[in-house]
Structure 1
Amino acid sequence: MTAALQRVPCTVITGFLGAGKTTLIRNVLEQAGGRRIAVLVNEFGDIGIDGEILRNCGIEGCTDDDVLELANGCICCTVADDFAPALDRILSLEPRVDHILIETSGLALPKPLVQAFNWPGIKSRVTVDSVVAVVDGPALAGGRVAADMEALAAQRVADELLDHDDPIEEVFDDQVACADLIILSKADLLNEGDLASAEGRMNGHVRAGTKIVPGMNGKVDVGVLLGLGLAVENDIENRKSHHDGADDHEHDDFDTFVLDLPAVASPEALARKVAAAAEAENVLRLKGFAHVEGKPMRLLVQAVGPRVTHHYDRPWKADEARGTRLVVIGLKGLDRTAVEKLLAA
C-alpha cells in the first residue's frame, strides 16, 4: 500500500451558526456501515454543547474516545496549538480510524485549516477528502445567510467606522467558496419556489462545478459525503477568499457567554423565552440543554434567531447533575444581563 493510500481521509464540515452541521454529522455516524469514524468538534463558547450531543448520541460503535473537542478557540486561528495535537490523539486510537469528520465553529474559515494539511508533520498522515459547507435553506430563501440579518444590516449602515462588507457575509462567502459540496439544510421546510430561491441565492458565491444537495432533516446519503478523494490541500490556493494575503482575522464582531439556569416548567415555556430574547436582544444563536421539571429526559434546545427547536435527546444519567445550561451567541455588545433576565423570567 502506498503512503497516499495509508493517509486517513478527513472531511471538513463548515457552515454558519445553526446551519445544521451537528445534525448532519450525527446522520453520517448513523450510516457509518462498520467504518470507524472519529469526530473533531471546534466549539465557539465556553462549553462543548456540540461535542456533548455527539458524545452521548447513543449510536452503536460511536464511543467517547471517538469524539474530541477544541473549545474556546477558532480552529483556523489555533492550528498549531490545538489542531495538530488533537489530530495526534485521534491518529493514535486503536483500532485505527477509517475517516475523520472535522466540524468547524460557525466563525471558522476553512482555508487556513486546509492549508495546515500541508505541514510536514501532518501531510504524510492525513488528507482532506473534501470540504462540505452546510447552509441554512430557509434563511437563504429569505435572502439572508442567517436567521436574523436585519439588525446587523442596520448597524452596518449606521456605523461609518465599520467596513463596507458585512463580516458575517464575508465568513459565509469564504466558507462556500472553499467548499466542494454544499448541503442546503432544512430543505424539508421549503416549498419548490423557496428551494429554487435558496439555490439561486448561492449564485456568485460557489465555485464552478460545486454541487448543491438539499438536506432533509439532516439526512444526506453518506455516499455523497465521504470518499470523494479530492486531496483538497493540493488545490487550496485556487480557492479564493476575502482573507487571502492577510496574516489573520478577527472575531471581535461576536460575543458569547454561558448561562446556568434553574429547571424549566415546560419545553414550550422555554422556547417562548428564547424567542423573546432573540427578538429583544438580537441573539443570533442559542444552544444547550435544559432540565424540565418532573421529566427524566434531558431537553436539547437549538435556536437560530427566534426560530427554536427542541427535543428530548436522552435520559439523565444517575451520576449527572441535572440543570439548564445554554450557550448564547450574538453581536459584539450583546447584553448578557438582559438576556439572562428574559430567559430566567
Structure 2
Amino acid sequence: MTDLSKLPVTVVTGFLGSGKTTLIRHLMQNPGGRRLAVVVNEFGDVGVDGEILKGCAIPDCPAENIVELANGCICCTVADDFIPTIEALMKLDPRPDHILIETSGLALPKPLLKAFDWPDIRSKITVDGVISLADAEAVAAGRFAPDVDRVQAQREADDSIDHETPLSEVFEDQISCADIVLLTKPDLAGPEGVAKARAIIAAEAPRPLPIVECAEGVVDPRVILGLGAAAEDDMDARPSHHDDAADHDHDDFESIVVDIPELAAPADLVAAIETLARERNILRVKGYAAVQGKPMRLLVQAVGARVRHQFDRPWKPEEARRGRLVVIAEHDDIDETAIRAALGALEAAE
C-alpha cells in the first residue's frame, strides 16, 4: 500500500514530439479535483514547453506551480536542481496534491526514478506512476524497433558493432519503465498503424502494459493519476539498457539554438525545416518566430519533417521581433554551419 502521507509524483516520458506537453496541458485544465504542480525538463536552453504551460495556468495549477529546468538532465543534477525544486514545490501554500514531471524527450526515465531514493525526499514523495507516450505513426513505421535481419548481417560483418541504435535504446527504456503507455496521434496512424504500433510496444515491454489511445492529449485523469505504483520500490521490474552503467550521458544527441530573422511567411520556415529533416536527419525543432505584419508570435513544433505551427500570443512591447529555435539531432548529424545557414537565410523581404 502506498503511504498516503507521501506526495504523489507522476513522471511523463516519451520520445521527442510524442505529445507530452499537450498531455500535461490537458491535465492542468482537467485535474480531477487535484491542485497540481509541474516540473518541465527541457533539452536546450530555450524554454518553449514551460512557457506554453505557464500560458495555460489556472487556479488549480497557477504559474508559480510550474517550474522549468532547462539545458540539463534533472537526474544528472539531483543535488543542485532536482531536490531543491521538489522541496520548493512542497513548501508552496497551499501545497500541491500531485506533481507532474515532464522529462526531456531524450531522457532515460530509470535514472530519474533512482533520484527519488535520495534520503532528503524519499520519505516525503512517491512515484505514483510512469506514463510513457509513444507516437503511433512513428512506432508503426518501425523507427524505434530493431531490424533483426540487418543487425545479424552487420554482426557477421563486424562483431564490434553495437546492435542497438541510440534512438531505439531511448524508446525501449521509456517503454520498459512505464506503468501505462499512451499511444498518441492515432488519427495520423490510422487503424492499421495503431494495431501495428500496439504490437511493437507489446513486444518491447518487459511485462504486460495497458496501452491507451490518446488524441490531442485528451485522457481521463482517472486513467493515469492515482495509480499508486510506488515505482521507486519497483525498480527491478523496469529493466534498462543502462542498468550496469555507473551513470549515463547524453552525448548521443546534441542541440543548438538558432536565432532567426523576421519571416515573410510561416511557409518559408516550414519548408526550411522539412528540408533540414530530410537532408540533415534533424529529429526535433521547437521554438518561436516573428512574421512580417503579424502582431502575434508564431509557435513552432516539428518532429522530423512534420511541422506544426500556430500564433500563440501577442509580442510584448519590450520583446525584439526575432525568433529562436532549438534544433536537436543525433551528435553525428549536427552540422551547425549548415543548419544556421538554412534558417538564417529566411530574412523577410524589405
Please indicate, yes or no, whether the TM-score normalized by the shorter chain is above 0.5.
yes
Q: Using a 3 Å threshold, how does the CA distance of structure 1 residues 142 and 209 change in structure 2: closer, same or farther?
A: same
Map of 1:166 onto structure 2: 165
Contact 1:273 1:343 in 2 (8 A): yes
Q: Which amino acid aligns with 2:237?
A: N
Once the two structures are TM-superposed, the CA of residue 61 in structure 1 deviates from its matched residue by 4.2
Map of 1:134 onto structure 2: 133
Map of 2:229 onto structure 1: 230
Supply the distance in 1 between the matched residues of 2:159 and 2:317 (Cα, whole angstroms): 55
Supply the distance in 2 between the matched residues of 1:249 and 1:36 (Cα, whole angstroms): 33
Q: State yes or no: 1:205 paired with 2:222.
A: no
Aligned residues between the structures: 337
Supply the distance in 2 between the matched residues of 1:145 and 1:288 (Cα, whole angstroms): 25
Contact 1:116 1:122 in 2 (8 A): no
Q: For each residue in 1:58-114, what CA deviation from the matched residue of structure 2 results, as whole angstroms up to 9, or x when unmatched?
A: 545433211111122112322232211111111111111011000111221111211
Contact 1:15 1:133 in 2 (8 A): yes
Within 5 Å, give how 1:71-150 maps onto structure 2. 71-145=70-144
Once the two structures are TM-superposed, the CA of residue 168 in structure 1 deviates from its matched residue by 1.4
Map of 2:54 onto structure 1: 55
Aligned residue for 1:191, secondary structure, equals helix
Map of 1:342 onto structure 2: 342
Map of 2:252 onto structure 1: 253
Map of 2:348 onto structure 1: none
Supply the distance in 2 between the matched residues of 1:268 and 1:320 (Cα, whole angstroms): 23
Q: Which amino acid aligns with 1:216?
A: A
Q: Which amino acid aligns with 2:38?
A: V
Once the two structures are TM-superposed, the CA of residue 220 in structure 1 deviates from its matched residue by 1.4
Percentage identity across aligned positions? 53
Q: Using a 3 Å threshold, how does the CA distance of structure 1 residues 313 and 48 change in structure 2: closer, same or farther?
A: same
Q: What is the TM-score when the length of structure 1 is the normalising length?
A: 0.91
Q: Which amino acid aligns with 1:36?
A: R
Q: Which runs of 5+ in 2 are unaligned?
A: 346-350
Once the two structures are TM-superposed, the CA of residue 57 in structure 1 deviates from its matched residue by 2.5
Of residues 58-67 and 125-134 in structure 1, the stretch that sits farther from structure 2 once superposed is 58-67
Aligned residue for 1:328, secondary structure, equals strand
Supply the distance in 2 between the matched residues of 1:5 and 1:317 (Cα, whole angstroms): 44
Query: How big is the alpha-carbon RMSD for the aligned residues of Structure 1 and Structure 2?
Result: 2.3
Map of 1:40 onto structure 2: 39
Q: What is the TM-score when the length of structure 2 is the normalising length?
A: 0.90
Supply the distance in 1 between the matched residues of 2:169 and 2:120 (Cα, whole angstroms): 31
Supply the distance in 2 between the matched residues of 1:249 and 1:124 (Cα, whole angstroms): 26
Contact 1:45 1:256 in 2 (8 A): yes
Once the two structures are TM-superposed, the CA of residue 237 in structure 1 deviates from its matched residue by 2.3
Contact 2:15 2:133 in 1 (8 A): yes
Supply the distance in 2 between the matched residues of 1:34 and 1:266 (Cα, whole angstroms): 42
Map of 1:179 onto structure 2: 178
Q: Which amino acid aligns with 1:274?
A: I
Q: Which runs of 5+ in 1 are unaligned?
A: none
Contact 1:257 1:329 in 2 (8 A): yes
Contact 1:188 1:215 in 2 (8 A): no
Aligned residue for 1:289, secondary structure, equals strand
Supply the distance in 2 between the matched residues of 1:123 and 1:62 (Cα, whole angstroms): 24
Q: Using a 3 Å threshold, how does the CA distance of structure 1 residues 296 and 160 change in structure 2: closer, same or farther?
A: farther
Once the two structures are TM-superposed, the CA of residue 260 in structure 1 deviates from its matched residue by 0.8
Q: Which amino acid aligns with 1:192?
A: P
Q: Using a 3 Å threshold, how does the CA distance of structure 1 residues 102 and 191 change in structure 2: closer, same or farther?
A: same
Once the two structures are TM-superposed, the CA of residue 3 in structure 1 deviates from its matched residue by 9.8
Map of 2:280 onto structure 1: 281
Q: Using a 3 Å threshold, how does the CA distance of structure 1 residues 316 and 35 change in structure 2: closer, same or farther?
A: farther
Supply the distance in 2 between the matched residues of 1:199 and 1:242 (Cα, whole angstroms): 21
